[in-house]
Structure 1
Amino acid sequence: MRLRSAFTAVLGATLLIAVTPASASAATGQFRYDYVTIEGYEAVGFLNSPPSGECLDLPGVGQDNPQPGHSPKNRTDAWATVFTELNCEGDSFMLRPHTGGASERLKVRSVVFG
């Protein structure tokens, strides 16, 4: 009888762990990039602790702005893959965690962390 109760308890705990949703993960830290606004001003864009595994179009360099962002700096704890086009399309380049960065020659419009 005790064996059956122990088995039921273990089975119940296993099922509970299996169906409990995992917490959403995020890259801790900041991702930065430079861009020129539509009005022609130099600006710095950033994402603080962005979600992982989700394509993010960078604010300020979307369809309204013909100029992409540049000089990305990955100061998060996750790899960042930057893309030359919106919706994580076009050419891509990976930036390592904490110290990854590129010059103004690298043009960016979207990024995914993970």
Structure 2
Amino acid sequence: MKIRNTVAAAFGAFALVLALPGSALSATGDFTYKYVTGLGHEERATLHDPHSGKCINLYAVGDDDVPAGYGPHNQTDTPVTVYRGSSCTGDQWRLRAHGNPATDQLEVRSVRFDAPNS
């Protein structure tokens, strides 16, 4: 009887652990920004559920040799720091979670979403 109770308790604990969400490695939601293509067309790029805690050079604008992106909009559940330079360098600004779109005057090349528990 004791073995059966022990096994049942262990199984119940294991099932509970599986039901809990894993550690949050990503912000949930979308981060968008605008950029101009080599042909002069304005495009919008989206990071969906972006990775948290590491620097992300943004698509099409993440190199200091191309025009920067602009007008970032953080629609994720995590605050983000946006950087004017690539590899999270240069001037920086914080955008809050679920914030309003930033002005088109705010240039961006790279971002870092807050790591969990920060």
Q: Give the TM-score taking structure 2 as reference length.
A: 0.73
Output the aligned Cα RMSD. 1.6
Distance of 2:64 and 2:40 partners within structure 1: 13
Structure 1, unmatched stretches of 5+, are: 1-21
Q: How does 1:45-84 map to 2 (within 5 A)?
A: 45-63=45-63, 66-84=66-84
Distance of 1:84 and 1:37 partners within structure 2: 18
Following superposition, the deviation at residue 100 of structure 1 comes to 4.1
State the SS of the aligned residue for 2:87.
Answer: helix
Which of the two has greater strand per residue? 1
- Does the C-alpha gap of structure 1 residues 100 and 52 become closer, same or farther in structure 2, counting only changes over 3 Å? farther
Distance of 1:85 and 1:95 partners within structure 2: 16
Structure 2, unmatched stretches of 5+, are: 1-21
How many residue pairs get aligned? The number is 93
Distance of 1:87 and 1:43 partners within structure 2: 22
- Does the C-alpha gap of structure 1 residues 34 and 65 become closer, same or farther in structure 2, counting only changes over 3 Å? farther
| Dislocated runs of 4+, deviation >3 Å | none
**Counterpart residue type for residue 79 of structure 2:** W
Q: Give the TM-score taking structure 1 as reference length.
A: 0.76
Distance of 1:38 and 1:57 partners within structure 2: 18
Task: Give the fraction of aligned pairs with identical amino acids, expressed as a percent.
Answer: 44
Distance of 1:104 and 1:65 partners within structure 2: 20
Q: Is the 8 A contact 1:38 1:65 kept in 2?
A: no
